[in-house]
Amino acid sequence: MTSSRTTVDPKTRAGILAEAIPFIRRFAGCSIVIKFGGNALDGADEATALSSFAQDIVLLRSVGILPIVVHGGGPQIGVLMERLGKVPEFRDGLRVTDAETLDIARMVLVGKINRDIVGAINVHGPLAVGLSGEDAGFITAAARNPSLGFVGDVTAVDPTLIANLIAQGLVPVVATIGSDASGQAYNINADTVAGAIAEAIDSEKLIFLTDVVGILRDRSDIASLIQRLSADELEGLIREGIVGDGMIPKAAACLSAVRNGVKGAHILDGRITHAALLEILTEEGVGTMVTPK
């Protein structure tokens, strides 16, 4: 990080710290679920992006905010499948997850990406604990569609384990595998899991760090970014098709979250350095915020 010391005078520095007061005070003791996309870990700047993200998590935790990290890992799963010579099978455009694919997904999500995030945070101190939804059975899942194999939907989230870890001052990092009563594991969409956890633990905010600038009124025009909209307005945009494609799970999770007690859901551009920090601790937004009303 470029030192700001030589360029910013003491008074301005003090001012920036002092401006953060109302935000720090408002959110201290509040839990915030942050979905960190697998895309962010899949490029030239992977190490930098992860390190900057980890620093933000630690800063938020330092000032009493309680972050929970949820992550996916689609691209990385594909890479390992390919290396293992596993040919993906599709049905109605959706990938079929057979037992071996599930094993691969679980190894990548729980054994690789989750570990990398935990490690990046713990450089700053022993804060992060990796979890899969199978741990203490905290995410209960069911098959979405038997013909798709072990692709699951969330049926319940038990907040006890996460709440206990948070109470010990730790930062849970969640890989989005769930299991059913028979012990069968399922791979679940990470956006959906992030929303379900935010609801279950009465989270203050739900934040999606994505690789887009936010919700656009005109997808071809970045200047049409919507900075703030209500749940009803977002529902309208979905109906009209203005919000679509890959944004649907995020938008649906935002809608459900703010209608079930979460005070704000954010879709941010994770490519901006310290996006989460700036969104939470300063007045300027760097994406779209969905509010209950």
Active-site residue set:
35, 38, 74, 191, 250
Question: CB of 128: closest distance to its own copies in angstroms?
Answer: 7
CB closer to its own copies, 93 vs 183: 183
Using the Cα atoms of residue 215, residue 52, residue 46 and residue 103 in order, give the sign of their dihedral.
negative
Nearest to 264 by CA among 290, 237, 284: 290
φ, ψ of residue 168 in degrees (nearest 5):
-85, 5
φ, ψ of residue 21 in degrees (nearest 5):
-50, -60
User: Counting Cβ atoms within 10 Å, is residue 263 exposed (0-12), middle (13-18) or buried (19+)?
Assistant: middle
CB closer to its own copies, 112 vs 144: 112
Q: Which two tokens stand for residue 288?
A: 């779209």
φ, ψ of residue 231 in degrees (nearest 5):
-60, -45
Helix (H) or strand (E) segment spanning residue 22: helix 21-27
Question: CB of 264: closest distance to its own copies in angstroms?
Answer: 20
CB closer to its own copies, 1 vs 44: 1
Question: CB of 82: closest distance to its own copies in angstroms?
Answer: 11
Contact between 212 and 223 (Cβ < 8 Å): no
User: Counting Cβ atoms within 10 Å, is residue 21 exposed (0-12), middle (13-18) or buried (19+)?
Assistant: exposed
CB closer to its own copies, 168 vs 220: 168
Question: CB of 279: closest distance to its own copies in angstroms?
Answer: 10
